[in-house]
Chain A
Amino acid sequence: MELEKIRSARVRGIMLLFICLLGIALIINISWGSIKIDVQEIIAVLKGQSENVVHNSVIWKIRLPRTLAALLGGAALAVAGLLLQVFFRNPIVEPFVLGISSGATLMVGLVILAGFSFGMESISPYLIIVSALAGAILVMCIVLLLSLKVRSIVTLLVIGLMVGYSCSAVTSILTALADRDRVHGFVIWSMGSFSNYTWDQVAIVAAVIIPFLAATFLICKPLNAFLMGEEYAKSMGVNIKLFRFVVVALASVLAAIVTAFTGPVSFIGMAIPHICRILFQTADNRILIPGTILGGAVITSLCDLAARMLISPIELPISAITSIFGAPIIVFMLLKRRTDMQ
């Protein structure tokens, strides 16, 4: 009973910490940038009381959409990773293990590297986004269909990996055949960035991510049952076929929408669930889902801040920052936990 109380206090404490950090991340993302704007002016801009055109534009049209995109994108990738790690019972699984990112990359490769404009007069940002989304959804549909037919989860994982490899192989061939300007443009896309988000794009991303994140709360219980094994989940009344479909669909859509608008962002989907498990010291998905949402949002937005500020005005690839800052944190926490246990 005492132990339960301590655990409960720990969870509440860390959740509160995450909420505070989320607020801090939001504030510093809006406050810091290449342009110096003092706090009073920022408040005036947010209240609509500033007449400085540049400050209004920087806060409302550059920093805010970007910050919100990073918060939403980070939350989505982290939860997608958590769902798949539970589903595959594999801690090194990430949202792109089912080939989502590779499918998106292949379709973008077809546009940028091979010059397919799919009937449009020229390449536009929207063509890239639609192509990435189409690629991700196509792969997702293949995996979903197979998830209904294949019994073994491991087989499904291997199929996902194979689909990913196949897409990557075609992308490599396209890269090999493309001229250098196209290859360069493609490499830039594949680095991932939150910098180009417009309000329209944030609205689309939010309209997809928020309901899908909310939906993940509805499967907390079957996810917990699944932790004990498929047979146990069945005995608890979980419809395994439907459950598989829902988990893969939720994770895939969350990963696909972020990839389509941002490009591939690595590390977050794999690492944040780890960090949350270590911090919360639990496998209970009722705690981990809100925890990963908050953790993913906080860490991704801080990494995005670092990506745009470290050697400003040059922007660093977001995936590089997430890995550079995140990997040592995870290693440290894992080692620390082991030491504590000893």
Chain B
Amino acid sequence: MKKEIAKLIAMILICILTVGCGQQVAEIDADNNFNEAQEQNKPAEIVTAQVKVEYGADFSVEYLEGGVKKLVDGEGRTILVVPEGAKVPEGAEADEILKLPVKNIVACSSTFVSLMRPLDLLDRVKGVTTPQEDWFIDEIKDGLGNGEVMFVGGGSMGEPDYELVQALNPDLVMVYTGAGGQFAHIAKFEELDISYVVINDYTENDPLARLEWVKFLAAIFNVEEKANSFFTEVEATINAVSKKVAGAKQPKIAWCLIYEGTVFTPKGGSYVAKQIAMAGGDYAFKDLEPDQVGSAQLTVEAFFAGAVDADIFIYDSMGLPWITNIPAIIELAPALAEINPIVQGNAWAFQPWYYQALDKTHEQIEDLAAIFYPEFYPDHQVRHYLWLPRE
């Protein structure tokens, strides 16, 4: 009896010690948070420009008196952005009151971080949910290495380590919602009194509407002018691409991701379908739920039927293993060896940084046009897609 109890205790202690070892690795000092209060005593930030939602992105920005801004985020929540020293307008109701300056943010998606790059705001990112090895934005990768940025867990849509988030004492956390969203995080952030905004760029049906969320961020950080000039440049690039390829014979494009023998292909109403159209492509599955966003599941056979006579195949690499050659595609779905673009060797895949380059949407569309119409872009260096060799 005593022996059994002793053994049970020993087993439990082993478990505890194992856990304890994990703790030592993860220890951080709570006092060493990134909320540098002294830096916040700067003059009030003044609104110098305004942003306008033009592509129907699912947010709004309204400019009130005294530099106060009324934002509605992806979940329909009202956020009042109040400049330092300014007063909240009387009678104003809001789900969140955000006092400027916002210096310390936690981004629960790497896509949000990419939207902060053209606004020169990467130094405000202090916590991320993607580990260092998966970053392709140098400032964040380096920051994670030197301790200026903290990995707070929560990768692959899992739960973040709320203790680490709390220790960072962020001015703002950026999350997304929707069916596959971070709805569970939100209740916890509310209990922790941590301000958050919902950025649902991924549910937009237009690449420009998706990118337009940069204006939402600009309104929060008072950098509207930068957002406007960036967005104008992006629009100009995309318009120039569409103009260049207009009237040419459109190549047929097949686009998918394969997981466990099932093919996920963008629906006809998705931003991917529109992106292909902007670059002058004829999307093979444009009639697949044309009023729906996101992706649809197809059998390999159904995808084969639609893609067999395509001209170009693009593989949407979501994560490891990154697809770097045609045999890797064939390994995922042997039947695809027979589709025309694979036979012709005209297959491409995303570069690993693709999903951390939302701010490079115009470059991605330009790349697509160059892939679709190499004759129009003889000297173009494709940046965000990788041509897949036969071996």
Interchain CB contact under 8 A, B152 and A313: yes
> Looking at the complex, which one of A55, A123, A198, A313 makes contact with B160 (CB distance below 8 Å)?
A313
> Looking at the complex, which one of B19, B151, B180, B295 makes contact with A305 (CB distance below 8 Å)?
B19
> Looking at the complex, which one of A32, A201, A313 makes contact with B151 (CB distance below 8 Å)?
A313
Residues in B with CB closer than 8 Å to A189 are 184
Interface-facing stretch out of A132-140, A175-183, A228-236: A175-183
Contact with B along A21-48 (1 / 0, CB 8 A): 1000000100011111100000000000
Q: Residue among A10, A35, A55, A302 with the most chain B CB within 10 A?
A: A35
> Looking at the complex, which one of A58, A123, A200 makes contact with B167 (CB distance below 8 Å)?
A58
Q: With A61-B191, A306-B18, A306-B19 in contact, do A115 and B179 touch (Cβ < 8 Å)? A: yes
Contact with A along B298-337 (1 / 0, CB 8 A): 0000000000000000000010000000000000000000
A325 at the interface (CB under 8 A from B): yes
Residues in A with CB closer than 8 Å to B4 are 279, 336
Interchain CB contact under 8 A, A315 and B159: yes
Interchain CB contact under 8 A, B1 and A10: yes
Roughly how many angstroms separate A36 CA and B23 CA in the complex, as a whole number? 9
Residues in A with CB closer than 8 Å to B76 are 121-122
Q: With A128-B183, A302-B15 in contact, do A35 and B30 touch (Cβ < 8 Å)? A: yes
Contact with A along B134-165 (1 / 0, CB 8 A): 00000000000000000111111111111110
Interchain CB contact under 8 A, A34 and B27: yes
Residues in A with CB closer than 8 Å to B158 are 188, 191, 314-315
Residues in B with CB closer than 8 Å to A123 are 177-179, 181, 183
Roughly how many angstroms separate A186 CA and B167 CA in the complex, as a whole number? 29
Interface size on A, residues (CB 8 A): 68
Residues in B with CB closer than 8 Å to A54 are 30-31, 33, 166-167, 169
B294 at the interface (CB under 8 A from A): yes
Residues in A with CB closer than 8 Å to B9 are 17
Interface size on B, residues (CB 8 A): 67
Q: Find residues 191-241 in chain B having any chain A CB closer than 8 Å to their own CB.
A: 191-193, 202
Closest CB in chain B relative to A192 CB, distance in Å: 11
Question: Which residue on chain B has the smallest CB distance to residue A317?
Answer: B158
A152 at the interface (CB under 8 A from B): no
Q: Find residues 111-127 in chain A having any chain B CB closer than 8 Å to their own CB.
A: 111-113, 115, 121-126
Roughly how many angstroms separate A324 CA and B167 CA in the complex, as a whole number? 31
A311 at the interface (CB under 8 A from B): yes
Roughly how many angstroms separate A35 CA and B152 CA in the complex, as a whole number? 11
Interchain CB contact under 8 A, A62 and B19: no
> Looking at the complex, which one of A14, A113, A179, A186 makes contact with B264 (CB distance below 8 Å)?
A179
Interchain CB contact under 8 A, A34 and B192: no
Closest 5 CB pairs of A and B: A185-B180, A313-B153, A313-B161, A312-B26, A181-B180
The 27 sampled A-B contact pairs (Cβ below 8 Å) are A10-B1, A13-B1, A21-B12, A34-B164, A35-B28, A35-B30, A58-B163, A58-B166, A62-B162, A62-B192, A63-B163, A123-B183, A125-B183, A128-B183, A181-B179, A181-B294, A183-B180, A184-B157, A196-B159, A200-B191, A310-B18, A312-B161, A313-B151, A313-B160, A314-B155, A315-B161, A329-B11
Besides A54-B33, A63-B163, 19 other CB < 8 A contacts?
A34-B27, A35-B27, A35-B30, A35-B166, A112-B180, A122-B75, A123-B178, A123-B183, A124-B186, A125-B183, A178-B179, A181-B178, A181-B202, A181-B294, A184-B156, A185-B180, A308-B161, A312-B26, A313-B160
